[in-house]
Each structure stands twice: as structure tokens, then as C-alpha cells.
């Protein structure tokens, strides 16, 4: 199960790296309203959404020297995680160690990306929150609850980091258990008991 989870995480990390590399590689264009929020009806929502989208673009540009190399590293590491997990599923020698190292490095890379460019994450969260507010049809009651939602949404990246770190720890724990070591070393666990 740990190896399937590692492959899934590797795929997710690869896609995130691809998205960021593509975002930095493609030319910046003004997003259309259909892209930002297709159902905007209020002018104040358009102004807020435009301001948040501009802030997100500015934050991305300011952090390019840090985030672009981290994105490329994510892309390469995600592919490596998938390959190492496949090798481990085939019980290749040394694959278990490579999977554990890749998972730990990925957790470290996630922490590095989080603390290297917090403004980008904050701007992206605020843009997503502005989209939600703009798309909201509920009116004033939903808008009144937005300050609480805005405070809560800023905790999402920290929770995601903790989940990734916990996952990395669980994969390492699973792959260092006696049964896993016996499987990868080619020993018969029944004869050891």
C-alpha cells in the first residue's frame, strides 16, 4: 500500500511541477472573466477579483528565481518517485531505499517551497477565495461569513504540509518494518519466526 501511495504522490507532485513550469514558461495574458469566475454579476466582485489576480501574478513574478527551480525539482522528483515505486513493486534490489529517500526528499522540498515563497501561496489562496465570493449566489449571509473563511483558508497549506510529512513518515515506517525488509531482501519471513 505504501508503494501505491508513493506512486500516487509521485504523480501528483509531477503534475504540480508541470503546472508551475508551464505557468512560468507561458507568456502572461490577462485572464478573461470566463476563466476567473464565469458567473460574476457584481462590479465590486470584478474589481476584487482583478486585484487578487494581479497580486497573484506579481507574487509569481517576484518568486520566479526560487519557485521555478523548485518546480523543476518537483517535476523530476515526482517522476523518480513513480519509477522507484515501480522498481520496488518488482522487488528490485535497492529500490526500497530509493523510495524512502525520494519520499523524504519530497517532504523536504514541500517545506522548502512553502517557506521560500509564502506570498505566492497567500496570493493564490486569496484569489481562490475571491473566486468563491464572486461565484456565490447566496448574497449577504455568505459574504458575512467570508472573513472567517478567509482566516481558515490560510491554514490549508500548513495542514497540507503536515499531511505530506505524515505520509512520508508512514511510508518510511512501512518500508522499514521487518516484513517489508524481508520481502525486499528476498528472505522467507516464515522461516525467521
Is the pLDDT reported for residue 187 higher than 70? no
User: What pLDDT is attached to residue 45?
Assistant: 75
* Grid cell locating 168: 512520508
User: What pLDDT is attached to residue 144?
Assistant: 62
**pLDDT band at 79; cut points 50, 70, 90:** very high
Per the prediction, the chain carries an average pLDDT of 81
Domain boundaries, given as residue ranges, for the chain: 2-192
* Cβ proximity of 55 and 108 under 8 Å: no
**How far apart are alpha carbons 71 and 102 in whole angstroms?**
15
Residues whose CB is less than 8 angstroms from the CB of residue 95 and which lie 6 or more positions away in sequence, other chains included: 84, 87, 88, 184
User: What pLDDT is attached to residue 143?
Assistant: 57
Share of the chain above pLDDT 90, in %: 23
User: What pLDDT is attached to residue 50?
Assistant: 81
- Residue 24 to residues 18, 69, 174, Cα–Cα distance (Å): 10, 11, 37
**pLDDT band at 71; cut points 50, 70, 90:** very high
Share of the chain above pLDDT 70, in %: 81
Residues 3-34: pLDDT tens digits?
898 899 999 999 999 988 988 888 776 666 55
Average pLDDT over residues 27-48: 67
- Selection from 10, 8, 9 nearest residue 76 by Cα: 10
Torsion of CA 137, 140, 145, 150, to 10 degrees: 70
User: What pLDDT is attached to residue 134?
Assistant: 72
User: What pLDDT is attached to residue 121?
Assistant: 85
What does the DSSP assignment read for 99-125? Answer: HHHHHHHHHHHHHHHHHH-HHHHHHHH
Residues 121-154: pLDDT tens digits?
888 888 888 777 777 654 555 556 666 766 777 7
Residues 91-112: pLDDT tens digits?
888 888 899 999 999 999 988 8
Residue 187's region, left for phi above 0, alpha for psi from -120 to 50, else beta, is beta
Radius of gyration of the chain (CA): 21
Average pLDDT over residues 34-39: 59
Q: What's the pTM?
A: 0.74
Amino acid at each position: 500500500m505504501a508503494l501505491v501511495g508513493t506512486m500516487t504522490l509521485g504523480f501528483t507532485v509531477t503534475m504540480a511541477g508541470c503546472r508551475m513550469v508551464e505557468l512560468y514558461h507561458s507568456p502572461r495574458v490577462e485572464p478573461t472573466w470566463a476563466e476567473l469566475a464565469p458567473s460574476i454579476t457584481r462590479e465590486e466582485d470584478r474589481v476584487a477579483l482583478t486585484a487578487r489576480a494581479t497580486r497573484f501574478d506579481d507574487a509569481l513574478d517576484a518568486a520566479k528565481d526560487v519557485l521555478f527551480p523548485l518546480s523543476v525539482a518537483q517535476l523530476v522528483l515526482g517522476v523518480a518517485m513513480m519509477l522507484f515505486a515501480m522498481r520496488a513493486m518488482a522487488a528490485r534490489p535497492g529500490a526500497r531505499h530509493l523510495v524512502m529517500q525520494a519520499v523524504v526528499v519530497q517532504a523536504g522540498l514541500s517545506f522548502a517551497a512553502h517557506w521560500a515563497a509564502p506570498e505566492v501561496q497567500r496570493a493564490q489562496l486569496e484569489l481562490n477565495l475571491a473566486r468563491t465570493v464572486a461565484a456565490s449566489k447566496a448574497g449577504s449571509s455568505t459574504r458575512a461569513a467570508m472573513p472567517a473563511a478567509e482566516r481558515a483558508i490560510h491554514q490549508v497549506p500548513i495542514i497540507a504540509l503536515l499531511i505530506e510529512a505524515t505520509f512520508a513518515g508512514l511510508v518510511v515506517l512501512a518500508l522499514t518494518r521487518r516484513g517489508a525488509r524481508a520481502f525486499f531482501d528476498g528472505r522467507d519471513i516464515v522461516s525467521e519466526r
